[in-house]
């Protein structure tokens, strides 16, 4: 079987085509992610509601509702394998996600609109869920050197990830304002239980918070993640949000041929 090792602005994933198969996805996620120390695992399956269905799992085998950078990568996977055309719709646990091929490496997806957007869930921490059931995010503005202070922030971000204020746990996204419509983002991700180089739904959540606060008047956010830069475009009237578009780079890093569904030492 072929396993694609893909990267989207720093988020890396193991991706397989499972159409017509029934497999142990949680075990596959754990074992395949170990091969490259990847952030997540994605399986492309048949769908009656869209061009294909995305099963997304974190590296620890827990299922995720959706993944923004993962969705962009899986759109490239589907296009490259002839599963879908340049415009497609992906069925996810959080809802249907439209996707577009912009160039050989650039892909855009429409993230699910917020089902929860609470600017003051816990002191200075906003809480956002994109989709229903939504991907949970704690969003915090940081006024220091975000990336330079990374190691010092680790324990605070880890604590917020498990905070009782977030009943499902949460990805934690700190952001530093660099200028109008431009931020740096640092993410501590559930299921990985460490920093990741980018988070697509987290970047979308930061943009949603800034939009609700009236700090994104043009509706466009350039978000620099340690692994790459993402662009978010938000549509809507006033405080209402009716569209979140996420775009950025994708890369096929490697394609592995695996004779078994699990490595020998599983």
Residues annotated as catalytic are: 67, 199
CA distance 211 to 230: 16
How far, CA to CA in Å, does 253 sit from each of 8, 15, 66?
10, 11, 22
Q: What angle is formed at CA 148 by the lines to CA 142 and CA 154, rounded to 5 degrees?
A: 70
CA max distance for the chain = 56
Q: Is the distance from CB of 67 to CB of 57 less than 8 angstroms?
A: no
Helices 200-212 and 68-80, axial angle in degrees (round to 10): 130
Report CA Rg, the chain.
17
Q: Give SS3 for 26.
A: helix
CA distance 6 to 14: 6
How far, CA to CA in Å, does 231 sit from each of 125, 206, 219, 260?
23, 12, 11, 38
CA distance 172 to 206: 10
């Amino acid at each position: 079987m072929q396993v694609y090792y893909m990267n989207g602005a720093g988020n890396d994933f193991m991706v397989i085509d499972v159409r017509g198969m029934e497999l142990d996805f949680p075990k596959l996620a754990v074992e395949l992610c170990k091969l490259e120390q990847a952030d997540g695992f994605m399986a492309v399956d048949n769908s009656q509601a869209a061009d294909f269905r995305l099963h997304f799992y974190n590296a620890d085998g827990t299922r995720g509702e959706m993944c923004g950078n993962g969705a962009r990568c899986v759109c490239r996977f589907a296009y490259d394998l002839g599963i879908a055309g340049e415009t497609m719709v992906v069925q996810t646990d959080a809802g249907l996600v439209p996707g577009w091929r912009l160039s050989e490496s650039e892909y855009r997806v429409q993230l699910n609109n917020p089902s929860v957007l609470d600017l003051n869930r816990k002191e200075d921490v906003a809480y956002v869920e994109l989709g229903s059931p939504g991907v949970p995010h704690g969003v915090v503005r940081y006024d220091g050197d975000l990336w330079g202070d990374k190691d010092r922030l680790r324990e605070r971000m880890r604590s917020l990830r498990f905070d009782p204020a977030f009943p499902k746990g949460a990805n934690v996204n700190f952001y530093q304002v660099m200028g109008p419509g431009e931020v740096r983002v640092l993410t501590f991700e559930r299921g990985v239980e460490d920093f990741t180089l980018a988070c697509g739904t987290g970047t979308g959540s930061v943009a949603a918070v800034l939009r609700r606060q009236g700090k994104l008047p043009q509706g466009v956010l350039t978000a620099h993640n340690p692994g790459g830069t993402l662009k978010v475009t938000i549509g809507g009237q006033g405080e209402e949000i009716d569209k979140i578009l996420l775009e950025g780079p994708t890369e096929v890093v490697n394609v592995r041929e695996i004779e078994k569904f699990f490595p020998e030492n599983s």
